[in-house]
Chains A and B, each alone.
Chain A
């Protein structure tokens, strides 16, 4: 069974304090790994897709990396507006584009 585990559940940072979020996964053939950002009361907002081990993608203060077992979302010098829940999801080679989600990491960045 495809599974995604995210850690930590919650993370509190000071503005400018860099850190990383972890997404560990088991999947029967990875087709893609997704990172989404979710603000309270809103739908998930797409950030990145990673397809193969060694791949990296960046967007502003965020950088996502992928290995064969896990993905990291690195946040460099975060700002309060980066506060949100970050969701990781995997899509297997089978399953017609079904996304299997982790439970997310709630990030709070204090000024």
Chain B
């Protein structure tokens, strides 16, 4: 089954304790992205990657890091979490064909609910 998986699904942690949220896709997609969803603000992009070793900042990258060492995996790293990073996080992936006019659909994972105390 084609899917995007995230782990953990729920996480409660304390300020300053480093954590990693994993994301994996089995569709051989080039493009992967992280979003956070907050009430009244909608989904906002944190980081994205167009392929292995190619990553860039989205709209709200402060306090986050990413890496893309393998095509299927795109972990999100919070090196020193703070309470304002309490949110619902989604990973998404899609094909990416440079120059193609019609865009490719992004498929989302099930989400990770993070609480930072």
B90 within 8 Å of A (CB atoms): yes
CB neighbours of B44 from chain A (8 A):
101
A34 within 8 Å of B (CB atoms): yes
Which of A11-19, A61-69, A75-83, A92-100 lies at the interface with chain B? A92-100
Choice from A31, A46, A49, A96 contacting B107 with Cβ under 8 Å = A46
Query: In residues 46-64 of chain A, which contact B (Cβ within 8 Å)?
Result: 46, 49, 51
Q: Taking the nearest CB of chain B, how far is it from the CB of A48, in angstroms?
A: 10
A43 within 8 Å of B (CB atoms): yes
Report the separation of the CA atoms of residues A99 and B58 in the bound assembly, to the nearest whole angstrom. 10
Q: Taking the nearest CB of chain A, how far is it from the CB of B81, in angstroms?
A: 22
Report the separation of the CA atoms of residues A91 and B59 in the bound assembly, to the nearest whole angstrom. 14
A41-B111 contact, Cβ under 8 Å, with A96-B48, A96-B50, A97-B96: yes
| Range of interface residues on A (Cβ < 8 Å) | 20 to 34
Q: How many of B's residues come within 8 Å of A, CB to CB?
A: 30
Report the separation of the CA atoms of residues A106 and B78 in the bound assembly, to the nearest whole angstrom. 31
Choice from A31, A42, A46 contacting B105 with Cβ under 8 Å = A46
Give B31's nearest chain A residue, CB to CB: A97
Report the separation of the CA atoms of residues A36 and B107 in the bound assembly, to the nearest whole angstrom. 10
A8 within 8 Å of B (CB atoms): no
Report the separation of the CA atoms of residues A45 and B107 in the bound assembly, to the nearest whole angstrom. 7
B61 within 8 Å of A (CB atoms): no
A44 touches B108 (CB 8 A): yes
Considering the complex of A and B, which 4 residue pairs feature the smallest CB-CB distances, nearest first?
A: A43-B108, A101-B43, A32-B103, A101-B42
Taking A97-B103, A98-B45, A103-B42 as known contacts, 8 extra A-B pairs with beta carbons closer than 8 A to each other, sorted by chain A number, are A34-B105, A43-B110, A51-B102, A96-B48, A96-B50, A97-B106, A101-B35, A101-B44
21 A-B residue pairings within 8 Å (CB atoms):
A4-B42, A32-B102, A34-B105, A42-B110, A43-B90, A43-B111, A44-B43, A45-B108, A46-B105, A46-B107, A49-B105, A51-B102, A97-B48, A97-B94, A99-B35, A99-B92, A99-B106, A101-B42, A101-B43, A102-B42, A103-B41
